[in-house]
Amino acid sequence: MDLFYYFILLIAVISASCAGSDADMKCASRDYGHGSVVCVCNATYCDTITTTRPVPYQSVSVFTSTKGGHRFSFSVTKLSTKSKISTNNVVITLNKTIKYQTIKGFGGAITDAATVNIKNLTSRTQEQLIKAYFGPMGIEYNLGRVPMASCDYSTRKYTYLDTPNDFNLSTFELAKEDMMLKIPVLKSIHQVSSRNISLYASPWTAPAWMKTNNDEIGRGWLKGTAGDKYHKTWAQYFIKFFEEYKKQGITFWGVTAQNEPSNGLLISSKWQSTGFTPEMQRDFIKSDLGPALKASEFKNVKLMILDDQRLFLPSFPLTVLSDKDAAQYVSGIGIHWYWDWLVGPEVLADTHEKLPGYFMLATEACNKDTPQPDLGNWETGEKYSNDILDNLNNWAVGWVDWNLCLNLAGGPNWAQNFDDSPIITNATGDEFYKQPMYYHMGHFSKFLVEESVRIKSTIQGNSDLKFVAVERPDGSLVLVVLNSSTKDVTFNVVQDNLSFTNTIPANAIQTFSWSDK
Ligand SMILES: *[C@@H]1O[C@H](CO)[C@@H](O)[C@H](O)[C@H]1NC(C)=O
Ligand SMILES: *[C@@H]1O[C@H](CO)[C@@H](O)[C@H](O)[C@H]1NC(C)=O
Ligand SMILES: *[C@@H]1O[C@H](CO)[C@@H](O)[C@H](O)[C@H]1NC(C)=O
Ligand SMILES: *[C@@H]1O[C@H](CO)[C@@H](O)[C@H](O)[C@H]1NC(C)=O
Ligand SMILES: *[C@@H]1O[C@H](CO)[C@@H](O)[C@H](O)[C@H]1NC(C)=O
Ligand SMILES: *[C@@H]1O[C@H](CO)[C@@H](O)[C@H](O)[C@H]1NC(C)=O
Ligand SMILES: *[C@@H]1O[C@H](CO)[C@@H](O)[C@H](O)[C@H]1NC(C)=O
Ligand SMILES: *[C@@H]1O[C@H](CO)[C@@H](O)[C@H](O)[C@H]1NC(C)=O
């Protein structure tokens, strides 16, 4: 029986890997000497990822990426019905009867900078890049964050209402960045995706004339108090933004009340910001933004508060949401990853316990450890998956990266606040580089589809592997495992009366999927 099974499995693996090499383009790797490789894509070539491969009955699909250079390497492992596991082994046990949050998804930000970089490539290379993120052979992001007007990742400072004292918004107008860059890219995203794309918008600065310091940057907040003409106009600015985008065929799933409200409040901001204390955000939502959204055709747009570092958990959301009049308009809490070393991820679980009716979404993250993008650095990718795992295991419903792509300098950014990104573009060579971060994102975004539900997963034995498990809407199971050490680790996975054995290589991330039917 077993021999026969292995024979079938062998045939299946051979045909799957042949089919794989036909169906999937391999990583065109390039080593810049920074620890691992990037995969190079251009107008005619880009590596692809197919996850809908036929696998034999009772087997597990395994996708592996390693510091050593594997990128979504595919293999098949036998799913055994025997559950006799040596107690000496490391064992990950799944129990799908114990369920947690429903997954919303994964994505990145469609900033001015990202779209400047995309539009600086030839049209065929642009299409490859958008497909790499959103296409069925790419990592299939389903979330996108869209800044409302400019931020530091713009080439200039602007808002949509720069005419002083225009309280009736008669001069409100989208910028050339929206018309020439962001909206065309958003349209392409919708074209290539076979998933439902959910976009959310975030404002950085209100028009300077509406702010206490009459400037887009620095330390300043809205003039006056909640309910007055400044606050009413700022709320109408959100509605106008949705209306103008709708005219261009782009609609939104969500919005955050303000990007990083602590920026420009506690510190003098070097780039666009509008400061809000939790009390100011509560009152603005209660008197202005909430009623304006509710009275508009955009009343179903999900309003998120905070959109700032987790060190403000749970106090900031508790201040806003313990007011019933403000809370009625709010759906979720946005969280950024900077300063994470100050407080552990348990503050998310604590916030969930105190405010179970509101989802938590990781709304921004990026690596800014080096002054320029670090091409082929594996550790920046590990940081992403490490943080994604921490967030998912503490009730976050998804994780959204910052700029979809940056140029070789980590920009453009008018404030010179440069970062790294999962995709770096080289306009001179008309090519782009998929960093390890891109593949770390893909090990989640490709597999943990919207409406998947996290299930209980525990580990026994001597290991610090990090992992998360979900049940997908089609009933299949997915387990993502990260090993950030320099040693290979062998472990067993047990799910009810099924089990399999696996060795995860050193510095690797793996995604397993199987059906228990
Ligand atoms: C595009 O990439 C492929 C694969 O690496 C390579 O064979 C081809 O020469 C490249 N095309 C250009 C124009 O650089
Ligand atoms: C899974 O959890 C349920 C509910 O707590 C429990 O009854 C069941 O025994 C668990 N199954 C396993 C295999 O541990
Ligand atoms: C808006 O305000 C301007 C001057 O502030 C005025 O000329 C214009 O008539 C107003 N428009 C509306 C629709 O109220
Ligand atoms: C997209 O959303 C629609 C409406 O909610 C739903 O019927 C459909 O199944 C979704 N499609 C995917 C691919 O999730
Ligand atoms: C656009 O591409 C050109 C080279 O083709 C380059 O000189 C310029 O810096 C690029 N722009 C940005 C914003 O990267
Ligand atoms: C970008 O492309 C140009 C032109 O092909 C090439 O000379 C340069 O080395 C590339 N930059 C990197 C970082 O690969
Ligand atoms: C594997 O990776 C984890 C982090 O994901 C690390 O802490 C651990 O030391 C590694 N090795 C083993 C043997 O678990
Ligand atoms: C495994 O459990 C399922 C129900 O959870 C049951 O239908 C199946 O017969 C079991 N298989 C074996 C080999 O025990």
Confidence of residue 125 (pLDDT cuts 50, 70, 90): very high
Atom of ligand 6 nearest to the CA of 375: 13
Answer yes or no: is pLDDT of 143 > 50.
yes
Answer yes or no: is pLDDT of 131 > 70.
yes
- Give me ligand 1 centre to Cα 478, in Å: 35
Q: Does 96 sit in the ligand 2 pocket, CB within 6 Å?
A: no
| pLDDT for the residue 487 | 78
Domains of the chain with bracketed CATH: 79-101+453-517 (2.60.40.1180), 105-445 (3.20.20.80)
| pLDDT for the residue 19 | 40
Please tell me which residue, 14 or 257, carries the higher pLDDT value.
257
Cβ contact 487:506 at 8 Å: yes
Q: Is 471 a catalytic residue?
A: no
- Give me ligand 5 centre to Cα 427, in Å: 6
Average pLDDT over residues 378-405: 98
Q: Whose CA is nearest to atom 7 of ligand 5?
A: 428
b/e string for 123-159 if b means 16 or more Cβ within 10 A? eebbbbbbbbbbbbbbbbbbbbbbbbbbbbbbeebbb
One-letter-per-residue 3-state SS of 418-456:
CCCCCEEEECCCCEEEECHHHHHHHHHHCCCCCCCEEEE
φ, ψ for residue 201, nearest 5 deg: -105, 150
Q: Does 163 sit in the ligand 3 pocket, CB within 6 Å?
A: no
The ligand minimizing its distance to the Cα of 97 is 2
Average pLDDT over residues 158-174: 98
- Give me ligand 7 centre to Cα 68, in Å: 16
The residue annotated as part of the active site, out of 364, 379, 382, 431, is: 364
- Give me ligand 2 centre to Cα 100, in Å: 14
Answer yes or no: is pLDDT of 484 > 90.
no
Average pLDDT over residues 51-78: 93
| pLDDT for the residue 2 | 44
Confidence of residue 17 (pLDDT cuts 50, 70, 90): very low
Mutate to test the pocket of ligand 1, among 37, 42, 71 (most ligand atoms within 8 A of CB): 42
Cβ contact 221:268 at 8 Å: no
Confidence of residue 371 (pLDDT cuts 50, 70, 90): confident
Q: What distance in Å separates the CA atoms of residue 487 and residue 72, rounded to the nearest whole number?
A: 19
Q: Whose CA is nearest to atom 3 of ligand 6?
A: 429
Q: Is 177 a catalytic residue?
A: no
φ, ψ for residue 107, nearest 5 deg: -175, -160
The DSSP result for 81-134, as a single string, is: S-----TTSEEEEEEEEEEEEEP-EEEEE--HHHHHHHHTS-HHHHHHHHHHHH
Return the beta strands (E) in 188-317 as ranges. Answer: 198-203, 254-256, 302-309
Answer yes or no: is pLDDT of 335 > 90.
yes
- Give me ligand 6 centre to Cα 428, in Å: 7
Lowest mean pLDDT among 232-236, 375-379, 463-467, 475-479: 463-467
To the nearest whole number, what is the mean pLDDT of the chain?
94
Average pLDDT over residues 256-271: 96
Percent of the chain whose pLDDT exceeds 70: 94
| pLDDT for the residue 369 | 80
Average pLDDT over residues 107-128: 98
Atom of ligand 3 nearest to the CA of 168: 1
The residue annotated as part of the active site, out of 216, 260, 382, 450, is: 260
For residue 371, which amino acid is it?
Answer: P
| pLDDT for the residue 20 | 43
Q: Does 120 sit in the ligand 5 pocket, CB within 6 Å?
A: yes
Structure tokens at 216: 């887009």
Average pLDDT over residues 296-317: 98
Highest mean predicted confidence (pLDDT) among 56-65, 171-180, 456-465? 171-180
Q: Whose CA is nearest to atom 1 of ligand 4?
A: 196
Q: Does 97 sit in the ligand 8 pocket, CB within 6 Å?
A: no
Q: Which residues, 6 or more positions from 232, have their beta carbon under 8 angstroms from its beta carbon?
A: 167, 288, 292
- Entry pTM: 0.93
Atom of ligand 2 nearest to the CA of 95: 1
For 246, what's the count of Cα atoms within 13 Å in the CB-facing half-sphere?
12
Q: Whose CA is nearest to atom 10 of ligand 2?
A: 95
For residue 373, which amino acid is it?
Answer: P
Structure tokens at 149: 């007007």
Q: Whose CA is nearest to atom 9 of ligand 3?
A: 170
- Give me ligand 1 centre to Cα 44, in Å: 7
Q: Whose CA is nearest to atom 8 of ligand 5?
A: 427
Percent of the chain whose pLDDT exceeds 90: 87
Average pLDDT over residues 336-355: 96
Q: What is the pLDDT of residues 181-221, one digit of tens each?
A: 999 999 999 999 999 999 999 999 999 999 999 999 999 99
Strand partners, 147: 202
Mutate to test the pocket of ligand 2, among 94, 97, 497, 499 (most ligand atoms within 8 A of CB): 97
Q: Going by DSSP bridges, is the β-strand pair 477-483/508-514 parallel, antiparallel, or unpaired?
A: antiparallel
| pLDDT for the residue 11 | 42
Average pLDDT over residues 342-362: 97
Confidence of residue 87 (pLDDT cuts 50, 70, 90): low
Answer yes or no: is pLDDT of 452 > 70.
yes
